[in-house]
Structure 1
Amino acid sequence: MEEKKTWDLVSLASIPLVMTLGNSMLIPVLPTIEKELNISSLQVSMIITVYSVVAIFLIPIAGYLSDQFGRKRIIIPSLIIAAIGGLISGWASWQVKDAYGIIIIGRVLQGVGAAGASPIVMPLVGDIFQNESDVSNGLGVIETSNTFGKVLSPILGAALAAIVWFMPFFAFPVFCLISIAMISFLVQTPPMTTKPPKLDAFIRSIKYIFKNEGRWLYAVFLIGCICMFVLFGVLFYLSTMLEEQHKIDGIKKGIILAIPLAALCFSSYVTGKTIGQDKIKMKVITVVGLVILTIANFSVAFSKDIYVLLTAMFASGLGIGCALPSLDALVTEGIEKEERGTITSIYSSMRFVGVALGPPVVAVLMKASHFTLFAVITLISLISVFITTKFIKPTEDD
């Protein structure tokens, strides 16, 4: 990788790290928030979900705007909006008696900011690096930063909440300001060499892409959604179970939640280094990862033992960490630069669908039984294996 672009990549990696902290830091704190605000488990899950739902609808728009006006011109204002949202949620938690509604408004703004920042990183990596192997390696670093954020989040969230339960809301704007400074001064984006197409021509080109590439694109979108659904759903379950059944909270709970995420971080990094520009290898590694995910969820369906669950989640983290960088690379390298921002943003939007659905769906399934919850998750994981095998068919010439 070109040495002079190392700081560009480090700065870009700060965005998914910060956006992940903004959402995942709250996972270990959700049971506390539920008690402090006197709300239901479904309501508290909405604090995670609303962030993602807003992003789902705005991400494709942000992707289009980044193709038209440039990546940094969208990223920096989006980070500012996200920081304001964090301040609003923190202030409401601190000063307002019935704070839930205002917290949700703050989370909506954070979702708006996330929509315009995190998804644009992938196409920007594709813009900065010309060599496909460097692009794959860069995307591996970005995915690793994303997953490292997930590892750090439960520990940092629990530590901040130990000071005062709403401190994670106030910490998020500080992280945003650091990322804004890095992007502003350290990222050099290549100039736009061609004039962006008008909206009607752009829409025609997107339709053409989906007509010719839709078979594998739809598959990649759905698999990304499933991976994030399983990850955030099971993390929500584990966070609740550790506190309610095992009386484990605070930093200790954060460390336990970080174990499967550390596995995800490690396998993301190794996968990004391994896949290069070999699309057949990307598919194979994705299938292997999803098979591991399916087996792990199936095994835990028959036992409530905490050690069995943690072992299965560790394996799940390894599996998801194999799949995500491969999916990222397939989308980014399979689409021309002019439409890359929009297509990768739609992919990111589908991942946010998984994040949004995970906690509330698991909150409902938990009321049935442990077996029902993991039987459903196993079935969904198995479907992702079938979709990958059936619909993603790269050739050696790709």
Structure 2
Amino acid sequence: MDHTETFPSASGCSPADKKIKNKGLQNQRWAIISLASIPLIMTLGNSMLIPVLPVMEKTMGISSLQSSLIITVYSLVAIFLIPIAGYLSDRYGRKIVIIPSLIIAGLGGLLSGWAAWSWADPYKFILAGRVLQGIGAAGAAPIVLPLVGDMFSNDSEVSSTLGIIETANTFGKVLSPILGAFLASFVWYLPFFSFPVFCLISTLLVLFLVKKPKNQNEACSFNVFLQNTKEIFSKHGKWLFAVFLIGIILMFILFGLLFFLSNELENKYGFEGIKKGFILAIPLGFLCGASFITGKIIKENMVLMKWITVFSIVLTGISVICINFIDSLLYQTVLFSLSGIGIGASLPCLDALITESIEKNERGTITSIYSSMRFIGVAAGPPITALMMKNNDSWIFVLFAVLCGGAIIMAAMRINPDKKAAVQPK
């Protein structure tokens, strides 16, 4: 796989938002901050509910499996809509997809909050609101990746910015348990009402600080789009599918671990509220730091991206299998943190491998498919973990370790950038 190769565009086919060259990181810093707010807020909208799930179970009289669906339904909707949003962003422009999506996501939060506040049996209406949030998330956060690729002509700037975006995503995961527990300490459904406020802030930032390019080219017709996408997967499908599957596995493990730890902290160790939120934030803090550092060091070196991914997943696999043999909360937290470092270091590498390898006219679609695959892991992690917790906790970590083994093999065998080309700019 030669990642520096770009894919030919069909005649008259280019993204609706044309790349602005030579802007540089400094000139684009406010745009980067605005874009980073999107994955941060979308992560808050999902992950800050995790520490509140046990409270929801008690308040609404629902099971652990039902509470996990509050996370899962958000992700399931996004899985199917993200590729559509990616195509629309390629055809009509990134901002024109992102801004309405943020508004829809905010309305979903309002519906869930209103149902929890007003109805005696709000569970179904909360799920309906979460569906709306998932629709909005599908058209917001995943479109940030191709937009970053459009903004810069230098691959090292793309990698560095993607590291910032992934760090914002992971920082949202760090902040989520603390903020979710804090808001729920006033009233359990307050996290739902906070989400529209966050969406409004992000909408205004993107609207005014992310500039739409003046030069507009004709976008692909749907038939040409399908043909180009088919050609990409025909030529590069092996490594693309490997990256997609690795993304699924990492998100599955991350959200499975978070769900498990949230329940263990409350049910086994008696931690609730802010204390529980801070403990959950510890491994996520390491994950955030690993993403930030990795984004800074990988630049355009795709060989380095591959091997960071491989060894990071090795670290995650060893950590999760060791959790199986440790009963101390302190040592378990250390192992959770090590697994967080492994996942956090892998994610910017996977983002950059795809974003820097795909020609801009197909970038929105391919990166959106990748984001959709990651949402499969987010959706599957909590309910599968909840089901396995009913029987024997040990098998959860065995499953995670086996999945890490598969991801290591795929990363080592399928991702094969050309060494000479990988260290040179395009």
Letter of the structure 1 residue corresponding to residue 155 of structure 2: E
SS at match of 1:2: helix
Gaps of 5+ in 2: 1-23
**Match of 1:19, as an amino acid?**
M
Alignment counterpart, residue 291 of structure 2, candidates 261, 265, 268 = 268
Distance 1:209 1:192, change over 3 A: farther
Distance 1:122 1:191 in 2: 20
Q: Offset of 1:193 from its aligned partner?
A: 4.2
* Equivalent in the alignment of 2:184: 161
1:191 CA displacement: 4.1
Aligned partner of 1:121 in structure 2 is: 144
| Correspondences of 1:70-149 after superposition (within 5 Å) | 70-149=93-172
Partner of 1:314: 337
- Partner SS, residue 120 of structure 2: coil
Structure 1 distance, partners of 2:176, 2:65, is 21
Write out aligned runs for 1:271-350 (5 A). Answer: 271-350=294-373
The TM-score, its normalising length taken from structure 2, stands at: 0.92
1:376 offset after TM fit, Å?
A: 1.0
Deviation at 1:218, TM superposition (A): 0.3
Give the whole-Å Cα distance in 1 for the aligned partners of 2:220 and 2:179. Answer: 44
Residues 21-40 of structure 1 correspond to what in structure 2 (within 5 A)? 21-40=44-63
Whether 1:50 and 2:50 are equivalent positions in the alignment is no
If the length of structure 1 is used for normalisation, what is the TM-score? 0.99
Q: Could you tell which deviates more after superposition, 251-260 or 303-312?
A: 303-312
Give 1:41's aligned residue. Answer: 64
- 1:190: Cα distance to partner? 2.6
User: What is the CA-CA distance between 1:368 and the residue it aligns to?
Assistant: 2.0
Q: Which residue of 1 aligns with 2:11?
A: none
SS at the partner of 1:335? coil
1:341 to partner: Cα distance: 0.1
Specify whether residues 192 and 384 from structure 1 end up closer, same or farther in structure 2 by C-alpha distance, changes over 3 A only: farther
Partner of 1:199: 222
Q: 1:247 aligns with which of 244, 260, 270?
A: 270
Aligned to 1:175: 198
Give CA deviations for 1:151-184 in whole Å, capped at 9, x if unaligned: 0000000000000000000000000000000000
| Residue identity matched to 1:270 | I
Per the TM alignment, residue 304 of structure 1 is displaced from its structure 2 partner at its CA by: 2.6
> Per-residue deviation at 1:306?
1.2
CA contact (8 A) 1:128 1:189 kept: no
Aligned to 2:413: 390
Q: Choose from 76, 79, 84 the match for 1:61.
A: 84
CA contact (8 A) 1:119 1:345 kept: yes
Aligned residues: 398
CA contact under 8 A between 1:70 and 1:192: conserved in structure 2? no
The structure with the largest helix share of the pair is 1
Q: Deviation above 3 Å: which 4+ runs of structure 1? A: none
Q: 2:354 is matched by which residue type in structure 1? A: V
Look up the equivalent residue of 1:247 and give its one-letter code: G
> Gaps (5+ residues) in structure 1?
none
Tell whether 2:269 aligns with 1:225.
Answer: no
Deviation at 1:120, TM superposition (A): 0.1
Amino acid at match of 1:238: L
Alpha-carbon distance between aligned partners in 1 of 2:387 and 2:320, rounded to the nearest angstrom: 18
Moved more, 192-201 or 126-135: 192-201
2:30 pairs with 1:7 = yes
